Amino acid sequence: MALPHDEVLPMHPSLSRPAAATVLAIALAAVGLGPAASPAAAATIPAGSGSYTDSRPAGTSGPTTNTGAPVTPKVTAAAKDKPVPTNDWWSSLAFQRYGDNPYSTPMYGHPLTYQATSGGLQVGYPTTPAIVGEGRQYEYAHKADLTLGLSGLNSPDTKADDWSDWTVTPYWSDGTRTLRTTIGHGMPFVYAKGSGGDARVTTASTPTVFADNGNVLGITVAGHHYALFAPTGTDWNVSGTAITAGLGGKDYFSLAVLPSTDALATYRKYAFSFVTGSKVTWQSTGGTVNATYSLTTEAKEGTERGTLQALYRHQWLHTSDALTSYTYVSPRGTMKVRESASFTTSQKNQGVLPALPASSGVDKARLTGYLNEVANASDPFSGASDTYWTGKALGKLAQLVPVADQIGQTGIRDKLLGLMKGRLQEWFTAGGASEFSYDKNWKTLTGYPASYGSDTELNDHHFHYSYYVYAAAIVAQYDQAWAADSAWGTMVKTLVRDAANPSRTDTAYPFLRGFDVYAGHSWASGHQGFAAGNNQESSSESINLSAGLVLWGAATGDTGLRDLGSYLLTTESEAIGQYWFDADQQVFPGSFTHDTVGMVWGSGGAYSTWWTANPEEIHGINVLPVTGGSLHLARKKAAITRNIAEMERENGGPAVEWRDILWEFQALADPAAAKSKWDAGNAGYAPEAGESKAHTYHWITTLDSLGAPDMSVSGDIPTSAVFAKGGVRTYAAHNYGSTARTVTFSDGATLSVPARSTATGTGTGGGDPDPDPEEPGPSTGNTFRLKTGGTLTTATDGAAGADTIASADGVNRDGTPYRPTVYEIKKVDGTYASGSSTTFRLRVDAGTTVALAPQVRVSYDLTGDGTFDRTETFRYFATDPVAGWEEYTQAVGTKAVTGSLGNLKGGTVRLEIWNALGAGTAQVQTGTDAAVLKIPFV
């Protein structure tokens, strides 16, 4: 019996307590998965020195329904030869996991949610979170506000007709009527093309009409505002919950969710600029990763080709492109709207090292002893036979090869390399007990023996194959001939094509199978057959693939794969920080009491894993494997500290079972604390299955010696990193090239690195360490800067910026926040300084617009319970009509004060600024000493 889920991992052998059932708001039915028939003979396909087959081994299964029946992609004839990107937010359109549902399960596009039915497309906009599973999960579950379709449509199924990087086009046909809709991440519109019937929208309850302009209708359903757009010259008819419009000989209509009713005019402008495709491009140069996200459009009426896009938090935090004042609610926090068909993000490259650099803190004799324990083990692979556990064993050995080399233990190094080559070559050769097989229907490569649904559900390929790519990259570092395409490199690249193909024209594998470029992270389920959408548990194993691509590309001279790895890792790093660790404390609902989630779902997140409710595994599953690709986690040091503290609270004390993983995690923020735990507990523990005492000892003692990673500095090659301790920066880089080179860091320091070597040193010409500008300041102290992104921080570095203050829309808003720009910090402790008062210093600019009036309200939730105990509304500031910054302070005086001040204990401080008058937008400066709130606490 097996659960129809995506990534159930078995209990680690060292677990002493029984696995607890995780409470999820999804029904998981236990079913049997029987083998499907296999052809009698299979062809062997050469791949350099390796090979794979074009058919599964006898007695094994490929993709199946939940009853064990073989299943093929559910696509239209137009898409039958196009590789399906399984493991996506909409995969249930193409993978009919459940035999009684030929349509889809809920799909979470954000801000809208969707579900295909016989009559068309359900559309919802969930804005209120539910806390379920005994407080362990938050979700914005799909609930249909309306269904978009055609009069009389009754389709027997829904198929995928077309797709691009983050959009998809579902297709319905009942023999008389056909319907196509285009939907996507960040799209407030649904674009429809239909034939054989009138446009029909059926609402879940009787709608309120707030605008009726013939072919443009504004309605409110369940508190959410929608606009319906039919071709010019037609008219919408409302009858109860049925809304219809003849299409006047045309075949198009559209729908949009509005952030407010007064946004109708703006959204009407783009109603007939139909999105036809989406594409991301990326570039990694000089320590920076830039990515541009573009939509292609077609003008159904007029000439307008622009559109509106809602950006996720991980995107708008890293764009300098102009955004509107419109926002949406989502499970990933606030989404902000851009009025354009494209936007660009820019982030520092998150460096990857093959191993932490040499340091004086490592006792070479002790480390040698630990290395020999692994190299001389009777079974270094611990009995692993399937793709996942073999991968973990390969990963364990791969981490030790550069460590052994670093201390001169070349014999151990070469023995480990020999073990890795032997096992990789076994898997990379068809016909043995383990092999890879290609499925021409699903256009995927599956390793057999498979595990955790990697065969029947197409789950987790990026997890499993990450270890093979990473291990191959370490081999390539020492043996370039082995990694040549004519040798074993072609098989490595074939695994990459399956899990993270950068090509959109490859007819054998889909583009980036598991990585959702707009969501910013990967998905693990191949079928997405859950009420909560798709999910990903071990985001760190997804990062492992990205890091492996960086190292493999660098080692083999494939700059395309190297830069792909940099883009994937840098993008997913921010998504992990925001959506798994809630690093800025701006994503998880206030009613959700956890500081981290083990799993991210389309609908939200869960403090859980697939296989246990043990806090150590919940916190550790998004850390392992710890490698030179894990350094990115140090960007969010405060989140690491909160994460470890919560684990120990939930666990009733420090880690026992996965202590090595969590020690290594803590060392990225507080090496001394991690070293203390290692010193006290290293004698009597069993390493996690993918770990070793050799690697854990080297990791912790090196960071204790050099300091935690300093993520405020990046090198101009992706295989570089910086560490800081006691005011001293240590620079490290690995040069895979055949000639020496100088690596330049963003603080001006340089480091000379010999050919095919790692170098480390204090650099030449660098500056002193500064706090990480991407790291929110500690929630103590009484002076906070406004930071773009809606946060207050005690950090005093970072670039100056500006946020838009929305228009008052010509209405007097004096004293009442209207679409305010909000800045907030949570979990603040402080003692009220009696007699002191709130002060602030802000710079605002209304440009040349006359009669705008920025106004501030400061609120205090003293205990963090969600209720503000004190609010202070200040008088508005009369701006001048001359472009340029003007200073606004508390000296204007208060307009209204409610409640009383007291001590802050885990409290929340919020500053809101809005325009009280006028009909234009203004700006408020961020990130400088002229953007400061000081609270009356010590």
Distance from the Cα of residue 253 to its chain's centroid: 32
- Binned at pLDDT 50, 70 and 90, residue 769 comes out as low
Assessment of whether the complete model's pTM goes beyond 0.85 = no
In whole angstroms, give the CA distance from residue 662 to residue 469.
24
Tokens of 496: 């990459």
With H, G, I as helix, E, B as strand and everything else as coil, classify residue 374.
helix
pLDDT, tens digit, for every residue of 660-706?
A: 999 999 999 999 999 999 999 998 899 999 999 999 999 999 999 99
Continuous segment of H or E residues that includes residue 418: helix 410-427
In whole angstroms, give the CA distance from residue 666 to residue 670.
6
Is the separation of the CB atoms in 163 and 169 below 8 Å? yes
pLDDT computed for residue 428 by the predictor: 98
In whole angstroms, give the CA distance from residue 337 to residue 310.
4
In Å, what is the CA distance from 341 to each residue of 258, 289, 704? Answer: 18, 20, 47
pLDDT, tens digit, for every residue of 838-892?
A: 999 999 999 888 888 999 999 999 988 888 999 999 999 988 888 888 889 998 8
Is the separation of the CB atoms in 575 and 591 below 8 Å? no
Is the separation of the CB atoms in 874 and 894 below 8 Å? yes
Mean pLDDT across 793-799? 74
> Which of 827, 357, 803, 319 lies closest to 574, judged by CA?
319
In whole angstroms, give the CA distance from residue 661 to residue 232.
61
pLDDT, tens digit, for every residue of 880-926?
A: 888 888 889 998 899 999 999 999 998 999 999 999 999 889 999 99
Is the separation of the CB atoms in 751 and 759 below 8 Å? yes
| 3-state helix, strand and coil shares in percent for the chain, rounded to the nearest 5 | 20, 30, 50
- Residues near 491 by beta carbon (within 8 Å), at least 6 away in sequence: 47, 48, 50, 51, 52, 428, 436
In whole angstroms, give the CA distance from residue 90 to residue 114.
9
pLDDT computed for residue 41 by the predictor: 52
Is the separation of the CB atoms in 915 and 811 below 8 Å? no
In Å, what is the CA distance from 651 to each residue of 33, 594, 668, 683, 772? Answer: 36, 13, 21, 21, 30
Q: Which runs of consecutive H residues, i.e. helices, occur in 357-409?
A: 364-375, 387-406
Is the separation of the CB atoms in 335 and 518 below 8 Å? no
Give the CA dihedral 476, 481, 483, 489, nearest 10 degrees.
180
Is the separation of the CB atoms in 731 and 743 below 8 Å? yes
In whole angstroms, give the CA distance from residue 608 to residue 597.
7
Q: To which residue do tokens 């029947």 refer?
A: 456
Residue 150: φ, ψ to 5°: -125, 150
Tokens of 82: 């196009």
Continuous segment of H or E residues that includes residue 573: helix 559-575
- Largest CA-CA distance found in the chain, in angstroms, rounded: 87
Q: To which residue do tokens 């200073």 refer?
A: 887
Choice between 111 and 684, residue whose per-residue pLDDT is larger: 111
Q: How much is the mean pLDDT over the chain?
A: 92
- Which residues is 793 bridged to in the sheet? 785
Q: Give burial (CB, 10 Å; 0-12/13-18/19+) of 645.
A: exposed
Beta strands in 324-479 (DSSP E): 327-328, 335-339, 342-348, 435-439, 444-448
Tokens of 130: 């539910």
Tokens of 325: 């004042």
- Binned at pLDDT 50, 70 and 90, residue 23 comes out as very low
Continuous segment of H or E residues that includes residue 695: helix 693-706
CA 502-508-512 angle, to 5 degrees, is 30
Is the separation of the CB atoms in 821 and 804 below 8 Å? yes
Angle formed by the axes of helices 559-575 and 539-556, nearest 10°:
160
Is the separation of the CB atoms in 3 and 459 below 8 Å? no
In whole angstroms, give the CA distance from residue 562 to residue 764.
27
**914: DSSP letter:** E
pLDDT computed for residue 797 by the predictor: 62
What HEC string does 302-329 produce? Answer: CCCCCCEEEECHHHHCCCCCCCCCCEEC
pLDDT, tens digit, for every residue of 817-840?
A: 998 999 999 889 889 988 889 999
pLDDT, tens digit, for every residue of 237-284?
A: 999 999 999 999 999 999 999 999 999 999 999 999 999 999 999 999
Q: What is the CB-side half-sphere exposure of residue 784 using CA atoms within 13 A?
A: 31
Continuous segment of H or E residues that includes residue 226: strand 224-229
For residue 20, is pLDDT > 60?
no
| Amino acid (1-letter code) at residue 300 | K
> Which of 582, 589, 554, 585 lies closest to 569, judged by CA?
554
pLDDT computed for residue 598 by the predictor: 98
For residue 308, is pLDDT > 80?
yes
Mean pLDDT across 178-183? 98
Residue 427: φ, ψ to 5°: -70, -30
For residue 815, is pLDDT > 50?
yes
Task: Tell me whether residue 460 is one of the annotated catalytic residues.
Answer: yes
- Which residues is 721 bridged to in the sheet? 732
Beta strands in 882-921 (DSSP E): 886-889, 894-899, 904-915
Selecting among 405, 541, 558, 563, the annotated active-site residue is: 541
Dihedral of CA 255/256/261/267: which sign? negative
Q: How far apart are the first and last CA of the chain?
A: 59
pLDDT computed for residue 765 by the predictor: 75
Selecting among 498, 516, 537, 616, the annotated active-site residue is: 537
With H, G, I as helix, E, B as strand and everything else as coil, classify residue 621.
coil
Tokens of 259: 């952030």
In whole angstroms, give the CA distance from residue 510 to residue 518.
16
Task: Tell me whether residue 880 is one of the annotated catalytic residues.
Answer: no
Residue 645: φ, ψ to 5°: -65, -40
pLDDT computed for residue 34 by the predictor: 30
With H, G, I as helix, E, B as strand and everything else as coil, classify residue 235.
coil
Report cis status (omega within 30 of 0) of the bond before 449. yes
Mean pLDDT across 38-60? 85
- Which residues is 439 bridged to in the sheet? 444
Report cis status (omega within 30 of 0) of the bond before 10. no
Is the separation of the CB atoms in 932 and 879 below 8 Å? no
For residue 293, is pLDDT > 90?
yes
In whole angstroms, give the CA distance from residue 289 to residue 281.
11
Choice between 105 and 795, residue whose per-residue pLDDT is larger: 105
pLDDT, tens digit, for every residue of 470-529?
A: 999 999 999 999 999 999 999 999 999 999 999 999 999 999 999 999 999 999 999 999
Selecting among 139, 145, 460, 616, the annotated active-site residue is: 460
Task: Tell me whether residue 912 is one of the annotated catalytic residues.
Answer: no
In whole angstroms, give the CA distance from residue 190 to residue 184.
8
